[in-house]
Amino acid sequence: MTQVSDQARLEAGPRSTVAEPSAGRTSGAGLAAERVRWSVAGRLILDDVDVTAPPGAVTGLLGPNGTGKSTLLRLVAGVQRPDGGRVSLAGTASPDPVGAPGPSGAAREDLLAMPRRRRARTVAFVEQDAATELPVTVLDAVLLGRTPHRSLLAGPSEDDHTIARAALERVGALGLADREVTTLSGGERQRVHMARALAQAPRVLLLDEPTNHLDVAAQLATMRLVRELAREGVTVLAALHDLSLAAATCDHAVVLAPGASGHVVAAGPVEQVLVPEVIDPVYGVRTTVLRHPRTGRPVLTFEER
Ligand SMILES: Nc1ncnc2c1ncn2[C@@H]1O[C@H](COP(=O)(O)OP(=O)(O)OP(=O)(O)O)[C@@H](O)[C@H]1O
């Protein structure tokens, strides 16, 4: 076992750790994936993984290539079904919370059992390199985020248009509203996918490499937006490769490690998880942690071992 701190609760084994809820704005334990297991083609990809993302906080899902970050997000989003385990959400906004009390003692909703439309009102997922080959305008693509909020037969309302435009403005892409999505650059598409997720007005936002394709200013703007959403009470779980960006913006981090199957080796506040004792064995690098002169947040540099 890697000893870093009690709070980070690090384990080397396949049974993983749970990030502590952040102090403050919201109560409850947010999103909890418990003992999630998934195999494909006879290969165990995720082995009894536990991940908690507290509400009102940004949780970074970290780990080298192929450790199962995207898979875990897809399972939590309900795009794929796990072979075992449970994914639940602290039940505050639901009219009919179900399930057993969760880690916080509050009633929890079983996300995997939730009807599709209700889950779409609850969870938004921005996939890595999500393709949109449909010949639709940017505004129409963002309006798709409103679909779970209106009756099946109704078209988008004035309110839906207002919300979609506000979402585009928030990601700095209102000027693209009339463009066809297929004509956009990778970074422009990334913003549009984010705007569609915002228009969904979710309680949980799952992001797979949200800064992929973005220039440095756009990366910072995206992560600032993600932090704002968390402050507004959204539970954010974001797979990230850039550990310094994670250190600068996440409250919590969960680190998946390679091995026979992906498993959690560390979880907790970023200050306690993004340390050489955790990162170096997982990524096979030598990490130096510096301090940002203005923000005081950790800045990580890496060398080959
Ligand atoms: N449908 C599938 N069929 C076969 N193997 C799969 C499938 N989906 C995922 N895998 C494998 O599962 C492992 C985890 O993949 P996943 O994309 O979740 O990793 P990741 O941590 O997100 O990787 P990256 O950082 O490179 O994006 C990989 O070895 C991948 O090849």
Q: State the pLDDT at residue 14.
A: 32
pLDDT in tens, the chain (305 residues): 333 443 343 333 333 333 333 333 333 448 999 999 999 999 999 999 999 999 989 999 999 999 999 999 999 999 999 999 999 998 654 443 344 444 444 578 899 999 999 999 999 999 986 666 678 999 999 999 999 998 878 889 999 999 999 999 999 999 999 999 999 998 899 999 999 999 999 999 999 999 988 899 989 999 999 999 999 999 999 999 999 999 999 999 999 998 777 789 999 999 999 999 999 999 999 999 999 999 999 999 999 99
For 274-285, give the DSSP string.
Answer: SSHHHHHHHHTE
Distance 62 CA to ligand 1 centre (A): 14
Cα angle: 202, vertex 204, 206; to 5 degrees: 110
Q: How many CB atoms neighbour CB 48 within 10 A? A: 18
Atom of ligand 1 nearest to the CA of 209: 27
Q: State the pLDDT at residue 174.
A: 97
What is the distance between the alpha carbons of residues 78 and 123, in angstroms, rounded to a whole number? 9
Amino acid occupying residue 5: S
Distance 68 CA to ligand 1 centre (A): 6
* Burial of 43: CB neighbours in 10 Å, binned 0-12, 13-18, 19+: exposed
Q: What is the residue with the minimal CA distance to atom 30 of ligand 1? A: 66
Does ipTM surpass 0.90 in this model? yes
Instruction: Write the CA distances from 42 to 49, 67, 126, 252, 260, integer angstroms.
Output: 18, 16, 28, 32, 12
For 169, list phi and psi in degrees, rounded to 5. Answer: -65, -40
Q: State the pLDDT at residue 32.
A: 95
For 285-297, give the DSSP string.
Answer: EEEEEEE-TTT--
Pocket-forming residues, ligand 1, beta carbon under 6 Å: 40-41, 45, 63, 65-71
What is the distance between the alpha carbons of residues 17 and 99, in angstroms, rounded to a whole number? 22
What is the distance between the alpha carbons of residues 208 and 241, in angstroms, rounded to a whole number? 10
Atom of ligand 1 nearest to the CA of 239: 22
Q: State the pLDDT at residue 26.
A: 37
What is the distance between the alpha carbons of residues 282 and 271, in angstroms, rounded to a whole number? 17
What are the tokens at 35? 């003992």
Query: What CATH number does domain 31-131+201-304 carry, 3.40.50.12500, 3.40.50.300, 3.40.630.10, 3.40.718.10?
Result: 3.40.50.300
Q: What is the 3-state secondary structure (H, E, C) of 6-35?
A: CCCCCCCCCCCCCCCCCCCCCCCCCEEEEE
Distance 120 CA to ligand 1 centre (A): 24
Per-domain residue ranges for the chain? Answer: 31-131+201-304
Distance 241 CA to ligand 1 centre (A): 14
Atom of ligand 1 nearest to the CA of 128: 27
Q: State the pLDDT at residue 153.
A: 81
Shortest CA distance to 261 belongs to which of 66, 52, 75? 66
Q: State the pLDDT at residue 130.
A: 65
| Half-sphere exposure at residue 177, Cβ-oriented, CA atoms within 13 angstroms | 15
Q: State the pLDDT at residue 96.
A: 38
Q: What is the residue with the minimal CA distance to atom 31 of ligand 1? A: 66
What is the distance between the alpha carbons of residues 248 and 60, in angstroms, rounded to a whole number? 11
Q: State the pLDDT at residue 92.
A: 52
Q: What is the 3-state secondary structure (H, E, C) of 139-163?
A: HHHHHHHHHHHCCCCCCCCHHHHHH
Q: State the pLDDT at residue 154.
A: 83
Distance 14 CA to ligand 1 centre (A): 18
Amino acid occupying residue 247: A
Q: State the pLDDT at residue 152.
A: 78
Distance 161 CA to ligand 1 centre (A): 36
Q: State the pLDDT at residue 34.
A: 95
Only one residue has tokens 């679909």, namely 147
